[in-house]
C-alpha cells in the first residue's frame, strides 16, 4: 500500500482548485457549497442539493459536470418517469434476434437527477442499486457503471407541491446534502450581469478528465485517519443514535461516509491526514439529512441541524497522545 506523498495531496488541491474556479464562474458567492460538492466528488459519494426552486441547484450540478471532461447525463425526474428510464431497458433486436440492452440515464460518469423527489418512489428506488453498488441489473444481466460515478440529485423541499419525500434508505445513500440558499445581494447583482447577456455555462471548459479524477480519488483514499479521529467520528454518530430528540440516528454507512468525506476534505486542504476539525466541518452536510427528529423535537421546532450542533458541542475530541 502506498502512502500519498505531499506532492499527491498538493495535486488534489490544485486540480480541485481548478474545478472550483471553473464552477465559481457560474455560481457566485457560494464557495462552501462548491467545496462540499468537491468533497463529495473526491470522496466518490453522491450529492443531494436541496433547496427552493431557482437558486441554482441545476446550474451548480451542470457546472460541476462540465468542468470534468467525462460523460454527463441529466435525468429530469417527473411523476411519470419509469424506473427503466433510469436504469435502461432490454429491447428485442429483430436483426440480431436478441435482446439488446439500451442503457438508461444512469450510465454516465456524472448523473444529474433533477428534481428527484418529483418522481414516484418506485423510480426513485431504481437509483438505489446504482448509487450504492455502482452497477445496474436488468433481466438478470449486471452492467457495471464506469468510474468515476457520481449522482448529483436536486430536490425541492418536501413541503413543496407535487413532491414525494425521499425514503430514508435512499437519503442514506447520499454522502452529503447541501442547501444553496439565496445569494447575497451583491452576488445576485453580479449574476444579473453575467447571466442575462449570455449563458455562462456555454463558456465552461473542462479542466480535468475522468482518468485524472480516478487518480485523485485514489490519492484521497490513502489519506491517513488516526485512531483518535476514527474514535471521534464513531463517538459523534453513536451520540446521534442515543440522542433523545432523534428518532433515527446515523447509520454505520453514515460513519463511513463521514470519514471518507473527511479524507477528501483533508486532501483539499493539502493534508495527508485527517483532523477532528475536518470531521466536525462535515458533520452537518454528511449527517443532517439522514436523521429523523422525534415528534417532540419536531413540534418544538428543533431541527436536525440544531440537534447536531448540540451533539458536536458535547462530544469531546479524544486525545490520544502521539
Residues that bind other proteins (CB under 8 A): 3, 224, 226, 228-229, 231, 234-235, 238-239, 272-277, 280, 315-322
Q: Are strands 208-209 and 68-69 parallel, antiparallel or unpaired?
A: parallel
Nearest residue to 284 (alpha-carbon basis) of 263, 314, 256, 254: 254
Least Å distance, CB 295 to other proteins, is: 26
Q: Which is nearer to other proteins, 2 or 94 (CB)?
A: 2
Handedness of CA 4, 10, 12, 13 (dihedral sign): positive
CB-CB contact of 166 with 46 (8 Å) = no
Nearest to 263 by CA among 289, 291, 233: 233
Task: Considering the complex, state which of residue 1 and residue 299 has its C-beta at the smaller distance from other proteins.
Answer: 1
DSSP 92: E
State the nearest-atom distance from the C-beta of 176 to other proteins, in Å: 21
> Nearest-CA neighbor of 181 among 47, 31, 313, 75?
31
Q: How far is the CB of 213 from other proteins (least distance, A)?
A: 24
Q: Closer to other proteins at the Cβ: 301 or 316?
A: 316
Separation of alpha carbons 137 and 130, rounded Å: 9
What is the rounded CA–CA span in Å between residue 24 and residue 207? 13
What's the closest the beta carbon of residue 65 comes to other proteins, in angstroms? 33
In the complex, the smallest distance separating the C-beta of residue 252 from other proteins, rounded to whole angstroms, is 14
Q: Between 19 and 279, whose beta carbon lies closer to other proteins?
A: 279
Least Cβ distance, residue 315 to other proteins (angstroms): 6
d(CA 290, CA 207): 33
Q: Which is nearer to other proteins, 197 or 227 (CB)?
A: 227
Using the minimum distance from each CB to other proteins, give the nearer residue, 51 or 278. Answer: 278
- Nearest Cα residue to 116 out of 103, 136, 130, 102: 130
Amino acid at each position: 500500500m502506498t502512502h500519498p506523498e505531499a506532492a499527491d495531496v498538493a495535486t488534489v488541491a490544485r486540480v480541485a482548485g481548478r474545478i472550483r474556479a471553473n464552477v465559481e464562474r457560474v455560481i457566485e458567492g457560494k464557495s462552501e457549497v462548491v467545496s462540499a460538492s468537491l468533497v463529495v466528488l473526491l470522496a466518490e459519494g453522491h450529492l443531494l442539493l436541496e433547496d427552493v426552486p431557482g437558486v441554482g441547484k441545476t446550474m451548480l450540478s451542470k457546472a460541476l459536470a462540465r468542468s470534468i471532461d467525462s460523460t454527463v447525463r441529466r435525468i429530469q425526474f417527473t411523476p411519470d418517469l419509469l424506473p427503466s428510464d433510469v436504469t435502461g431497458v432490454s429491447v428485442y433486436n429483430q436483426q440480431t434476434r436478441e435482446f439488446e440492452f439500451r442503457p438508461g440515464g444512469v450510465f454516465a460518469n456524472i448523473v444529474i437527477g433533477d428534481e428527484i423527489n418529483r418522481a414516484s418512489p418506485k423510480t426513485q428506488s431504481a437509483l438505489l442499486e446504482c448509487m450504492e453498488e455502482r452497477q445496474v441489473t436488468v433481466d438478470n444481466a449486471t452492467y457495471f457503471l464506469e468510474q468515476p460515478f457520481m449522482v448529483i440529485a436536486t430536490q425541492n423541499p418536501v413541503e413543496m407541491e407535487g413532491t414525494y419525500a425521499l425514503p430514508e434508505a435512499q437519503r442514506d445513500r447520499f454522502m452529503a446534502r447541501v442547501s444553496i440558499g439565496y445569494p447575497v445581494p451583491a452576488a445576485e447583482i453580479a449574476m444579473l450581469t453575467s447571466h442575462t447577456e449570455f449563458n455562462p455555462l456555454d463558456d465552461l471548459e473542462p479542466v480535468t478528465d475522468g482518468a485524472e479524477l480516478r487518480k485523485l480519488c485514489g490519492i484521497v483514499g490513502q489519506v491517513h485517519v488516526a485512531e483518535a479521529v476514527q474514535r471521534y467520528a464513531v463517538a459523534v454518530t453513536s451520540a446521534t443514535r442515543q440522542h433523545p430528540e432523534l428518532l433515527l440516528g446515523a447509520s454505520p454507512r453514515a460513519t463511513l461516509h463521514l470519514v471518507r468525506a473527511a479524507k477528501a476534505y483533508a486532501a483539499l486542504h493539502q493534508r495527508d491526514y485527517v483532523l477532528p476539525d475536518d470531521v466536525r466541518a462535515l458533520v452537518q452536510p454528511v449527517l443532517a439529512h439522514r436523521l429523523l427528529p422525534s415528534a417532540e423535537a419536531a413540534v418544538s421546532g428543533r431541527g436536525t441541524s440544531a440537534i447536531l450542533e448540540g451533539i458536536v458541542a458535547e462530544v469531546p475530541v479524544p486525545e490520544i497522545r502521539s
